[in-house]
Amino acid sequence: MQLVKVERICLIGHLVSMAFGLAGLLWVMPHPEILSLIPAGQTLFRWSMAGGGVVYILLGTAAVAIYAYRTLGLGRWLAFMLPAVGLSLGSELLGTSTGIPFGDYSYLSGLGYKIAGLVPFTIPLSWFYLGLSSYLLAQAGLSVLAARRGQSLGWLGQIAAIFLGSLLLTSWDFVLDPAMSQTAMPFWYWHQPGAFFGMPYQNFVGWLGTGVVFMSVAALLWSKPVWGQPVLSLKPAQLNLPLAVYLGNFTFAAVMSIGAGFWIPLGLGLLLGVAPAVLCWRWAQVEPTLLHAVPAIETSDESIERMAA
């Protein structure tokens, strides 16, 4: 139960820190006179701008990591996190040094120490926690569809879950990237702005491809008996945190896009990201018996309770 409390504190802190970040970027920066009305306002604002991005990513990573350990077990957590962090970091290092696969871009300050002077250490962490949230929602929704036909999620279904999870992840970037690269305090910039609200279309291919690669590696690792049951099945309530993380981060990006007047990216994100994510979560809540047509994985908490009994 202590892990659950820590997980919730990290999740709440993650969401609250994003809200403070939005207030700073969209409200305080255009109206700096507001700081004179707040005790130690200038100091708090400098701290927020210097470390706010790092804090919200670290809290999101902690919340999802604890959740993954509790619900998936240590092996499955690491089998997803290590490929997600390692492969996304490789893509980002390649992208910032060669322009492949995302385009020609560079990171600015504000997201923490840069690995090799190129990629903030927080970036691969965000790939992990958004990637796992997206993949679990996609797999749960498609598992329900397969169970309606009296089937388990076979290899074609696994491929579909990987693609849908990667699409959910990429749809978040539809909304985030145009606004965050053109805000009053950008965190990265494009050397050659593209046709999609300053972003090259190549960026989406890079996002989708990177997601497909590390989710595929994780799915292959999860299929090994050493990690537990070959097929993953979560209880409906266990999908609440992935949905909260996905919607919380999407809301952050959406508010930034609205502030910048980028309505088309927002519409695409809602259509290709939010709608299928909520639909997958809803199917699991409405038809939980179908979600459990395959054996569920014993969680760490349940294992402890069984041994104690």
Stronger pLDDT, 23 or 60, i.e. the higher one: 60
Query: Looking at residue 234, what is its pLDDT?
Result: 81
pLDDT in tens, 182-194: 776 778 889 988 9
| CB atoms near residue 145 (< 10 Å) | 16
Its pTM stands at 0.88
Q: At 35, which amino acid appears?
A: L
Mean pLDDT score, 78-100: 97
Stronger pLDDT, 244 or 27, i.e. the higher one: 244
> What is the full DSSP assignment across 283-309?
HHHH-HHHHTSSPPPPPHHHHHHHHH-
How far apart (Å, rounded) are the C-alpha atoms in residues 308 and 285?
30
pLDDT in tens, 97-153: 999 999 999 998 888 899 999 999 999 999 999 999 999 999 999 988 888 888 878
Q: Where are the alpha helices (H) located in 73-180, listed in sequence order?
A: 74-98, 122-148, 155-180
> What is the full DSSP assignment across 191-231?
SS-BTBTBB-THHHHHHHHHHHHHHHHHHHHHTSGGGS-SS
Q: Which of 67-81, 98-112, 116-130, 276-290 has the lowest mean pLDDT?
A: 276-290
Query: Looking at residue 170, what is its pLDDT?
Result: 97
Site of tokens 């050397």: 191
Q: Which of 159-163, 168-172, 195-199 has the lowest mean pLDDT?
A: 195-199
Mean pLDDT score, 11-22: 88
Going by the DSSP 8-state scheme, the letter that residue 37 receives in this structure is: G
Mean of per-residue pLDDT scores for the chain? 85
Query: Looking at residue 297, what is its pLDDT?
Result: 38
pLDDT in tens, 234-269: 888 999 999 999 999 999 999 989 988 999 999 999
Stronger pLDDT, 199 or 37, i.e. the higher one: 199
Instruction: Report whether pLDDT(159) > 90.
Output: yes
Query: Looking at residue 19, what is its pLDDT?
Result: 86
CA neighbours within 13 Å on the CB side: how many for 29? 15
How far apart (Å, rounded) are the C-alpha atoms in residues 50 and 120?
13
